[in-house]
Amino acid sequence: MRFLIPLALSLAACSPSVEAPTIATTVTTDIPLYTAEPDRRDLGRLSYLGGIEIDYTDERFGGLSALHLNSGGSRMLAVSDSAYWVRAGLSWSDDGAPVALGGIDIAPILSRDGEALEGQAADSEAIAALGGGLFAISFEREHRINVYELGPDWSQLDAVAQPLSAPDGAPQFENNGGMEGLTQLADGRLIAGVEAPSNGARQLWILDDGRWSRRELTAEPGYGLTALAAHGGHVYVLERFWTRETGNRIRILRFDAADLDDTARIEPDLLGTLTAGMIVDNFEGLDIIQRNGQTVLLIVSDDNYSERQKTLLMAFAVTG
């Protein structure tokens, strides 16, 4: 495995005293996939397992822009785009559907100086598990990547940020169109996906032995990349389209991780599209787990802290 994190990182650095996380329960409601056909499950090469709408009154909850689950899917770690950790337990039905979220902890994501992030510096957008309780978080507006040692049980939500180098192209990223996707491959390489297309293609930046290189992914006009997740030799991609007239559309794509070793533009496969007539919102978080013999793909929505939007968690079995 390639080592991504410089040994000089002082991951054992002392953390300052911060406000203790809030621990509470929440209300979750089952949701269908198709609004007029609640029993329908098919979505291209995916099969809908179930989903929940999450209702929680803490004003810090919402804006979920990144998602990570433990190997069994019983615990969830999310990142909001206002720089909060959101940690919770997740329960599932016998049919394999997520049914309830509870025991929520919320805590501020800290800066490299150990302070709660604010303003332009607080736009945290993606999470990548690096192993051993280490997590990388990418940020927009002030384009950068931080590493946090949360511990194997994710208990250290007061971890101080440690810097990781940003891609060479970061100074040219759009203010609100930067690294919305971040994931680690099985061989240890880190991939950062840029939301806004450049010259008709999506930028994928790969960190290997401390050096970044660029690859390209074919871009569908009007869509922006919002998440990446590597699993089972593949890289999964979440894309979002939005206009005031048509609302949200979401595409879920996949390509072979081996395609990253070629310099040719990558052509991903379309697994499914969420559009009008379905439950769809501003999905920005994505993770893949193995559960009960199935490859399960989960997405979570960013409600932008708006009463007109919802926090949704939906699960699909990958069938093709």
| 1-10 pLDDT tens trace | 333 433 233 3
Question: How much is the pLDDT for 13?
Answer: 38
Average pLDDT taken over every residue of the chain: 92
Establish if 11 belongs to a structural domain.
no
110, 158 contact by CB (below 8 A)? yes
Establish if 246 belongs to a structural domain.
yes
Provide the CATH number for the domain around residue 307. Answer: 2.120.10
Question: How much is the pLDDT for 57?
Answer: 86
Determine the structural domain holding residue 254 and report its residue range. Answer: 22-318
Question: How much is the pLDDT for 121?
Answer: 97
Establish if 7 belongs to a structural domain.
no
**Residue 245: band (very low, low, confident or very high) from pLDDT cuts 50, 70, 90:** confident
Number of domains in the chain: 1
The most distant pair of C-alpha atoms in the chain lies apart, rounded to whole Å, by 56
Establish if 78 belongs to a structural domain.
yes
**Residue 199: band (very low, low, confident or very high) from pLDDT cuts 50, 70, 90:** confident
Q: Which residues of 77-97 are buried (b: 16+ CB within 10 A; e: fewer)?
A: bbbbbbbbbbbbebebeeebb
Question: How much is the pLDDT for 24?
Answer: 52
Establish if 266 belongs to a structural domain.
yes
Establish if 12 belongs to a structural domain.
no
What is the reported pTM? 0.91
Establish if 247 belongs to a structural domain.
yes
User: How many other CB atoms are found less than 10 A from the CB of residue 193?
Assistant: 26
What are the Cα distances from residue 64, in Å, to 7, 128, 135, 203, 304? 31, 15, 16, 23, 8
Establish if 125 belongs to a structural domain.
yes
Q: How far apart (Å, rounded) are the C-alpha atoms in residues 254 and 90?
A: 25
**Residue 11: band (very low, low, confident or very high) from pLDDT cuts 50, 70, 90:** very low
